[in-house]
């Protein structure tokens, strides 16, 4: 019987047949896929023909189609709907996959063919895109250690395998801590909480099988609890649990894992001839060097720190007016900031939230994409991996463009955060394939589901990533969609957030859940005026995390990462009442894999561009200016990694921006 993962998928648009796939199918499918991939790689590496772009680079691009099917399905469900068996499989697959891909990148015969092409690149008559793919392929082999020999080569393979296993363990430990902790609430503990928080707590209690409402460590529940609960003792208990994830001792403690990861990364970089991991990692990014990253972060840190120092004085006075003596603590900030927002902007999140229905915000994100890029979205009735998921066919001028899948609600089987991934990426070689793109979020359930303003921004953010995938129009999958420099990949997502704040968008789609009435003009104006409220806090908690990440990798690996974290925070003068957005033991961006390691700064690097890019629309015909939309698609959204990120931005804007647009956008300096 054919394994359903590896069979021909006869589903609409060849979406994975989730209903036919069981957890027992994954391991044999992976073994078969790896064997098939190895056969393809051996045929390329050992070909008697002189290396050519077609028989080497294009052959590599075409290889591994079975691997793509297995891994796209498995990692989708492992991240968004995990269970004990899938966690076991992740631990089993991690070293196997590391060994498999390391075997390819260290294949000397294969590398020799790539190196031969690289040496003859000027005589190959390649297109611009082909030349780019050759360069990236050659660079990828070199940076993976393909030129290493003997003991160094062996050690590199061991390091990669160990790092893969450690990343899996870090992720699973964090998921376990988030899944297992919750705080029971009595009916009295609910006093002072808005209905949407009470409803979310009751729903969480039902999911946990508790006797009543609970607070979990899901951001969509714990943040509003910290904002609204008048019970300082409960806020402290919940906050301490939230910030202790990965640092509770026992089997799920991530601190030793973090230390080992940093040591292995340093060793890996030095094997490749770099002084440290940051130098290795940043070489291929827009920033290029640790010094440029630090310079940007400190330009933002100083005005943000100044703002939070002033804010802390105001919040402390408010707290003392409530009869609470002593310093403002981290579990106090959100509560008093929310009170201040209500007082200064007359904006009550409890009153605002009914206007931010999940379904209406999804409609808003689609409508903006329609006005900007002509995309249309039609619901699809197809089996997916969880009942919460929904799907749409994306078309333009009647032509199929993509399939978009949304998985929006928090649950115990889903890792925290929000992300976008492509279950299938756009490509034209070896055949035309349209993308299947998924957005995964962690919003609180409700009937109807209501979002905070921050949740709504997250929805637009992830959909910006999805547009980058859906509008991709390149030949080769290796440079498709979001396959760009890490500090450029957040530009489309952060740029798309701006359309949520366009008044006409909120006026049309922010309608009351019960009455259907549009958001009153007075409230709409307050929302937009308050958009930068508490930006000092948000900037400080983010930049502190980015500076710690950079310090971990720019120099010798610290023996004690927690001590290094404390040292960096002391040096920059971290305010007492604000903590890092992601402390080391739960800093999944940095320790779950290499993706954002020495690269957490990239959100801010991209924000420098996104503030300037949206200004290009405002300077033209407004948020929906067709010429600017066309330029954005042609120069950024459709081009993937076919050119250097800096060149793509220059083609769109004509110049590179300074940090002033970001500071003005965050309200940290006068506009």
DSSP E strand stretches across 101-228:
182-184, 214-216
Cα dihedral 9/13/19/23 (nearest 10)? 60
Q: How far, rounded to the nearest angstrom, does the alpha carbon of residue 413 sit from its chain's CA centroid? A: 18
| Cα gap 193→108, rounded to integer Å | 63
Token pair 């931010």 in the structure block, residue: 356
Q: What are phi and psi of 448, to 5 degrees?
A: -85, 165
* 352 cis-preceded (ω within 30 degrees of 0): no
Q: How far is CA 57 from CA 53, 118, 172, in A?
A: 5, 11, 36
| Cα gap 283→292, rounded to integer Å | 12
DSSP single-letter state for residue 24: G
Token pair 């991209």 in the structure block, residue: 606
Retrieve residue 494's tokens.
């952060």
Catalytic residues, by residue number, are 462
Q: Which residues make Cβ contacts (< 8 Å) with residue 16, sequence separation at least 6?
A: 5, 9, 69, 72, 73, 76, 385, 423
In residues, how long is the chain?
A: 671
Contact 148, 271 (CB under 8 A): yes
Contact 174, 162 (CB under 8 A): no
| Cα gap 357→512, rounded to integer Å | 8
Q: Is the dihedral of CA 309, 313, 318, 323 positive or negative?
A: positive
Retrieve residue 515's tokens.
């009455």
- To the nearest 10 degrees (0 to 180), the angle between helices 84-105 and 26-45 is 10
Q: Which residues pair with 419 in a beta bridge?
A: 440
DSSP single-letter state for residue 582: S
Q: Which residues pair with 511 in a beta bridge?
A: 518
Retrieve residue 567's tokens.
């040292």
């Amino acid at each position: 019987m054919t394994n359903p993962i590896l069979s021909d998928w006869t589903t609409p648009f060849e979406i994975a047949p989730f209903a036919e796939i069981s957890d027992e199918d994954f391991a044999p499918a992976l073994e078969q896929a790896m064997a098939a991939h190895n056969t393809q790689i051996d045929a390329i590496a050992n070909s008697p023909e002189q290396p050519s772009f077609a028989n080497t680079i294009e052959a590599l691009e075409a290889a591994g189609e079975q691997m793509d099917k297995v891994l796209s399905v498995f990692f989708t469900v492992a991240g968004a709907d995990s269970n004990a068996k899938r966690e076991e499989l992740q631990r089993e697959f991690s070293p196997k996959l590391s060994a498999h891909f390391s075997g390819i990148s260290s294949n000397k015969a294969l590398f020799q063919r790539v190196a031969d092409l690289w040496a003859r690149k000027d005589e190959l008559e390649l297109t611009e895109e082909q030349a780019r793919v050759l360069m990236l392929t050659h660079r990828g082999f070199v940076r993976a250690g393909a030129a290493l020999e003997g003991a160094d080569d062996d050690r590199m393979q061991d390091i990669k395998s160990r790092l893969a296993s450690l990343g899996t363990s870090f992720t699973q430990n964090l998921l376990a801590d988030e899944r297992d902790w919750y705080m029971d609430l009595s009916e009295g503990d609910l006093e002072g909480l808005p209905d949407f928080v009470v409803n979310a707590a009751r729903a969480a209690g039902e999911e946990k099988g508790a006797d009543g409402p609970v607070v979990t460590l899901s951001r969509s529940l714990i943040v509003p609890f910290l904002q609204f609960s008048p019970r300082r003792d409960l806020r402290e208990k919940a906050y301490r649990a939230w910030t202790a994830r990965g640092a509770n001792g026992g089997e799920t403690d991530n601190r030793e894992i973090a230390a080992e990861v940093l040591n292995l990364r340093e060793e890996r970089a030095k094997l490749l001839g770099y002084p440290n991991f940051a130098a290795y990692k940043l070489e291929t990014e827009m920033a290029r060097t640790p010094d440029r990253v630090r310079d940007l972060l400190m330009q933002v840190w100083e005005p943000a720190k100044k703002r939070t120092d002033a804010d802390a004085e105001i919040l402390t006075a408010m707290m003392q007016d409530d009869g609470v003596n002593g310093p403002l603590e981290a579990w106090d900030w959100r509560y008093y900031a929310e009170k201040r927002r209500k007082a200064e902007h007359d904006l009550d999140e409890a009153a605002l939230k009914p206007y931010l229905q999940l379904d209406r915000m999804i409609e808003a994100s689609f409508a903006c994409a329609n006005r900007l890029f002509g995309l249309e979205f039609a619901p699809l009735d197809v089996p997916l991996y969880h009942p919460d998921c929904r799907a749409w066919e994306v078309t333009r001028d009647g032509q199929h463009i993509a399939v978009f899948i949304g998985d929006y609600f928090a649950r115990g089987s889903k890792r925290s955060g929000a992300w976008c991934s492509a279950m299938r990426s756009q490509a034209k070689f070896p055949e035309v394939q349209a993308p299947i793109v998924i957005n995964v979020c962690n919003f609180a359930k409700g009937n109807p589901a209501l979002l905070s303003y921050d949740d709504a921004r997250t929805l637009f953010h992830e959909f910006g990533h999805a547009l980058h995938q859906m509008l991709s129009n390149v030949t080769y999958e290796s440079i498709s969609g979001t396959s760009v420099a890490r500090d450029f990949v957040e530009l489309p997502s952060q740029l798309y957030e701006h359309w949520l704040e366009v008044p006409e968008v909120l006026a049309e789609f922010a309608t009351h859940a019960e009455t259907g009435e549009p958001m009153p003009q007075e409230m709409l104006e307050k929302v937009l005026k308050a958009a930068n409220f508490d930006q000092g806090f948000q900037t400080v908690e983010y930049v502190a995390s980015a500076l710690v990440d950079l310090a971990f990798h720019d120099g010798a690996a610290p023996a004690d990462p927690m001590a290094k974290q404390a040292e960096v925070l002391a040096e920059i003068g971290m305010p007492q009442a604000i903590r890092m957005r992601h402390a080391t033991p739960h800093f999944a961006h940095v320790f779950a894999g290499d993706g954002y390691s020495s690269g957490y700064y990239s959100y801010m690097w991209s924000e420098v561009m996104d503030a300037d890019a949206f200004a290009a629309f405002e300077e033209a015909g407004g948020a929906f200016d067709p010429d600017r939309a066309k330029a954005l698609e042609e120069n950024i959204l459709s081009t993937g990694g076919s050119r250097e990120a800096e060149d793509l931005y220059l083609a769109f804007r004509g110049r590179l921006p300074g940090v002033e647009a970001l500071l003005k956008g965050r309200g940290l300096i006068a506009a």
